[in-house]
Amino acid sequence: MIQRRKWHSVEWSLFIVLTGSTALTLLYVLFHTNDFRSISIFLTILSILLSYGIPLLFWRPHYVNPHVFPIAVLLTGAPLQLYLSWMEQEAYSFINCPLIVIGFLTDRKNAWWIAPVFIVALPLSYRFILPALGPLELSGGILNAALVFGIGLSLQRVVTSNIKTENLLAENQFQYQLIHEQNNALEQYANQIEQLTLLEERNRMARELHDTVGHTFTSVIMGMDAVSYLIEASPEKAKEKLDVLRGVTRNGLEEVRRSIHQMVPKGDDLLLSQQLTRLANEFALHTGTKISFKTGGEEFEIPKQTKLSLIRCLQESLTNAKRHGRAASVEILLTYGKDEVGLQIEDDGIGTEQLKAGFGINAMQERITALQGSLQVSSSSSQGTVVSCIIPAKRLPSF
């Protein structure tokens, strides 16, 4: 398998050793010859250069062929080693350095033939060209080839382990960077959630205070207007009226406190119809408004949040009917369906052709939309205003 990669630092070191070994061999040949014009010397030097250059065609930076390189060494370096040994009648180890590279490049796919050929067969071939070598020298040649091949194999294991360690370190650094970025994203998300929660809480408080305070003050102002007329004509009735208004103000203060502490209105254990009836009666008493309250369908217990939203809807509608519409009478209809609860408030006020949603209506819309409900407000000049809200609600199980 051809590998398109850069050389490792170990391979550059092997290349330097291989080049140095080839240079020393050339010097040895040059220093041990007396006839430089001999054809044999020229062929020997050429063979040394070819045995050095041809394998490098298959082992160089950005191109490594671990299967062909040993074959190139076997076809060029091994014959030259045998020739030099025959010429000098001495066992040469010319391919020791290439054998280290072969060991470095050996894998399971080519180890089956490389080890027997270079470690056993090549040293034993000395037996045919050097008859004087004994078994001890032959065994030493095999041991030497095995040792050199083992050095290359060991270097390969070290480099492979080093590469795996570097890759693991790079992967860990990448994972750490990824976790760091995700942690930053989570922190930013948490900050956004915190800001949204604070904003939502401010809006909730604003809605609650608007509905509670607005409803209470409308009742008190209307009642005080009535007291101003009674204070001269009937002081006793004016005093009674003031006592009632004092109670309304106290109740309104308690409502504000409950809103701040995220509590439902006083009497939350009562049915919705009972709470709406009491709210309507108090408003009628203090403002002099004629209010008709009716209930349709079989009433059942609903979630507190749904109940609170309908109460706030009625408070805002009554306040607007009296403050803006100057209504004299209001009709309220509470209906219970199979999977929903509806509340309709219709007044006989002056109405308007250009209805603009203010803070109160927007607050109602937000509350009801949050519960998957719907709100409709319609008004026409001299025809009054109709507020209709429907919220999905299923019968709660009784225990």
Q: Is residue 336 part of a domain?
A: yes
Q: Is residue 231 part of a domain?
A: no
Q: Is residue 248 part of a domain?
A: no
Q: Is residue 15 part of a domain?
A: yes
pLDDT of residue 85: 82
Of 93, 112, 133, which one is at a domain's C-terminal end? 133
Q: Write out pLDDT tens, residues 330-361.
A: 999 999 988 899 999 999 988 887 777 777 78
CA atoms within 13 A on the CB side of 295: 12
pLDDT of residue 117: 92
In which residue are the tokens 């002099």 written? 288
pLDDT of residue 207: 64
Task: Tell me the CATH number at 335.
Answer: 3.30.565.10
Q: Is residue 218 part of a domain?
A: no
pLDDT averaged over the chain?
83
Of 133, 158, 175, which one is at a domain's C-terminal end? 133
Q: Which residues of the chain have pLDDT under 70?
A: 34-38, 190, 193-220, 224, 227, 229, 252-269, 396-399
Structural domains in the chain (count): 2
Of 72, 105, 133, which one is at a domain's C-terminal end? 133
pLDDT of residue 386: 92
Q: What's this model's pTM, rounded to 2 decimal places?
A: 0.48
Residue 264: exposed, middle, or buried by beta-carbon count in 10 A (0-12, 13-18, 19+)? middle
In which residue are the tokens 């030259």 written? 80
Enclosing domain of residue 331: 271-278+289-399
Q: Is residue 225 part of a domain?
A: no
pLDDT of residue 333: 94
Q: What span, in angstroms and rounded, lies between the C-alpha atoms of 99 and 151?
A: 9
Q: Is residue 315 part of a domain?
A: yes
pLDDT of residue 343: 94
Q: What span, in angstroms and rounded, lies between the C-alpha atoms of 219 and 325?
A: 15
pLDDT of residue 387: 93
pLDDT of residue 14: 92
| Crossing angle for the helix pair 9-31 and 96-105, to the nearest 10 degrees | 160
Q: Is residue 316 part of a domain?
A: yes
